[in-house]
Amino acid sequence: MILTLTPNPSVDHTLEVDDLVRGEVVRIRATRAQAGGKGVNVARALLEAGVDTRAILPVGGGGGAELTTLLGDLPRVTVPIEGETRGNVAVTESDGTTTKLNAAGPTLSPAEIQALLRAVEDELAKGPDWVVASGSLPAGSPDDLYVRVAELAAGHGVPLALDTSGPPLRAAARAGSVKLLKPNLEELSDLVGRAPTTIEEVTDAAREILAEGNGAALVTLGGHGALYVDAAEVLWARGPRVRTRSTVGAGDSALAGFLALEGTPEERLRRAVAWGTAAVSLPGTTVPRPEDVTDDGVVSTTGPDPLWRIDKL
């Protein structure tokens, strides 16, 4: 069972347009509202694949009520808060370009933060295989909130996968004890203070953050695939070119794919890239279903110029 924590969930509204022209009237081709937040996306992807999962998240106000409805049958623990659950907007153009308008979200009180951590500890006591902590932190949260989650996870012997950015990522990475860090290239660049431009430079940057006492890094590289780095090996993989409909949540689907099943790092990385590739071909924050990830579709291993590639470096 995989437990997820999303301290700052959202209702994600996606608007599909032909072209986004600032200052002009833009016709919307399609709209959709979906439950959002990085950990929620991970849990949704796992649920679609039949993997046992449970999501922890704070909810409040009308936005929280809408989010709860949109979560459907996703197993969850909701922590009531006084503030209003945020709503985010993504505008997706016909060429796949996505513009995200993310609200800051509610301010959590110290008591609400403690309630969230108690919910995490209660669920950790049930022995999940992983806990995934991901996304931005709501106002009022200390930058070391994920460090506290890592300490709770370590106390119960549960590995932690972390996907966040900025000060919360720096605090957790420097504290060590994260089993799997999942930055994208921009987040990794911010973390190490430079912009890697080659696979070798990305590997060096990842090894730098692993030296703080973390276990492994899964670095998502957008259309260039993903890189897995641990103490023993470095693996890089990419999937086929697909028509991009929305990039929102693709990294979350990749993380879900990596964690979904047991396997070697190579098998996990292959699945991560397959799920992430499938996600960008779907609208909004739609997560891939098993039928979206197929050997003759998203992942191809045949032909003189295979669309799938995985290298040991």
Q: Which residues are catalytic?
A: 252
The CA distances from residue 220 to 19, 224, 225, 238, in Å, are 27, 8, 6, 10
The dihedral over CA atoms of 24, 30, 33, 36, expressed in degrees to the nearest 10, equals: -80
Question: Closest Cα partner for 10 from 96, 127, 125, 90?
Answer: 90
Q: Which two tokens stand for residue 32?
A: 């959709």
Instruction: Report strand pairing: 309-312 vs 234-238.
Output: antiparallel
Which residues are paired to 15 by β-bridges?
31, 91
Give the number of other Cβ atoms within 10 Å of residue 13's Cβ: 18
Q: How far apart are CA 202 and CA 188, in angstroms?
A: 8
Grouping H, G, I as helix, E, B as strand and the rest as coil, residue 291 is helix
Q: Which two tokens stand for residue 122?
A: 């209660």
Instruction: Report strand pairing: 28-36 vs 53-59.
Output: unpaired
From the centroid of its chain, how far is CA 82? 26
Burial class from Cβ neighbours inside 10 Å (0-12, 13-18, 19+) for residue 287 reads buried
Q: How far apart are CA 113 and CA 137, in angstroms?
A: 11
